[in-house]
Amino acid sequence: MSLDARLEELEGRLAEIEAEWSRPEVAADPERSRILGREQARISPIVANYRALKEARAGIDSARRELQKEDDPELKELARELIAENEAAIERLNEELRVQLLPADPNDDRDVIIEIRGGTGGEEAAIFAADLFRMYARYAERRRWRSETLATSESGVRGLREVIFEISGRGAYSRLKYEGGVHRVQRVPETESSGRIHTSTATVAVLPKADEVDVHIDEARDLRIDVKRASGPGGQSVNTTDSAVRITHLPTGLVVEIQDEKSQHKNKAKAMSVLRARLLELEQRKAREEEDEARRSMVGSGERSEKIRTYNFPQDRITDHRIGLDVHDLPGVLDGDLDKLIDALVTADQAERLASLESAPGSTD
């Protein structure tokens, strides 16, 4: 399909969506309204650029007609300037549209569940995991997203062995999907009296949140649900009721345990949300491997064994190893100023996918 044909199709689809909004049954259906809203938000910028592209083309045609019939040198020069301006606009709009028309990640509109675990480095790794948790929470605040902690396992004074949390908001997965992998920190621990630099790691997993319709779970056959009394660090009891919930998905062996809430019902709901996200990620990873075993994207692969970033405190430098990017102002980044890193990753990902699309057999403009 040609570029113009694809754009005409999207323009027609936007008109259908706008017409559907006026139907009473749509206004009364929050889920349908949400789906339409997301589709409209995705298509509208593309259609706006396409309409601007058509205006620029029409401007060139009009200016060329003026050139042919005008004898006035000043008017001819004005027509030439208009042609040059519109040609520049067409080049810019074509480039933007090529990026906008890249195949969409089906998860981009989803909310996310993020799991952070301290890796090598003992207590310093747990402190680093807590730092990353705060970084993403602050980033969510900057983007006006909502965050909710689902489960935590504390370590020491301010460390976290593990934390699982959800971030909800438009574009959450599309931005945060690049954060999956091993994060490494190099700094002098607070307990290090000799000033020696230690290297520690934490693992970040970014999972698209799954709805019930995305992953079918037969609770009677597929799950073993155990309840017990919740406990705090070191085995200290934090609850006098059997509210902690441990869910085992028998077909895969996946286990989720949540005990943060005092209500068994709430803990079970959170555990099911995490389980669905893990199952969806497992299904999608298998599908990707079956579709293309050979291709492994440099950016955003989300491989949990992949060292993606180093936070070097002595040099006030963050290095993203996937794209060879160095960024300074480490305190600002850890306070949630992540866009400078994520924007670069998005750009690199788009460039790689464009190159891959254009080199594919049968690709057309």
pLDDT digits (tens, 9 = 90+) for 289-340: 754 543 344 344 434 446 899 999 999 999 999 999 999 999 999 999 999 9
State yes or no: pLDDT of 341 exceeds 80: yes
86-122 per-position pLDDT tens digit:
999 999 999 889 888 887 788 888 899 999 999 988 8
Residue 213 confidence class, pLDDT cut points 50, 70, 90: low
Mean pLDDT, the chain, integer: 85
- pLDDT value at residue 295: 37
Average pLDDT (244-263) is: 89
- pLDDT value at residue 57: 94
- What CATH architecture does domain 3-100 belong to? Up-down Bundle (1.20)
- Which has the closest alpha carbon to 207: 182, 176, 183, 184? 176
- Structure-model confidence comparison of residues 365 and 8, the more confident one: 8
The rounded percent of the chain whose pLDDT value lies above 90 is 46
Instruction: Report the helix count and the strand count for the chain, using DSSP H and E.
Output: 10, 11
- pLDDT value at residue 290: 58
Average pLDDT (188-203) is: 84
Average pLDDT (18-34) is: 86
Long-range CB contact pairs, 214-223, < 8 A, 24+: 214/276, 214/280, 215/276, 215/279, 215/280, 215/283, 217/249, 217/272, 217/275, 217/276, 217/279, 221/250, 222/249, 222/250, 222/251, 223/247, 223/248, 223/249, 223/250
- pLDDT value at residue 231: 67
* Largest separation between any pair of C-alpha atoms in the chain: 93
- pLDDT value at residue 22: 85
Residue 359 confidence class, pLDDT cut points 50, 70, 90: low
Question: Residue 200 pairs with which residues in a beta bridge?
Answer: 185
- pLDDT value at residue 362: 52
- What CATH architecture does domain 219-289 belong to? 2-Layer Sandwich (3.30)
- pLDDT value at residue 9: 92
- pLDDT value at residue 297: 41
Residue 237 confidence class, pLDDT cut points 50, 70, 90: very low
Residue 281 near residue 254 (C-beta atoms within 8 A) = no
- Structure-model confidence comparison of residues 278 and 232, the more confident one: 278
- pLDDT value at residue 71: 81
Rounded Cα gap, residues 203 and 357, in angstroms: 31
The rounded percent of the chain whose pLDDT value lies above 70 is 87
- Which has the closest alpha carbon to 224: 197, 253, 195? 253
CA angle 302, 97, 356 (to 5 degrees): 45
Q: Which CATH number applies to 112-213+295-353?
A: 3.30.70.1660
- pLDDT value at residue 296: 42
- pLDDT value at residue 189: 84
- pLDDT value at residue 96: 87
- pLDDT value at residue 84: 94
- pLDDT value at residue 8: 92
Which pTM does this prediction carry? 0.71
**Could you state, in order of their start, the residue ranges of all structural domains in the chain?**
3-100, 112-213+295-353, 219-289
Average pLDDT (38-44) is: 87
- pLDDT value at residue 243: 81
State yes or no: pLDDT of 361 exceeds 70: no
- pLDDT value at residue 143: 95
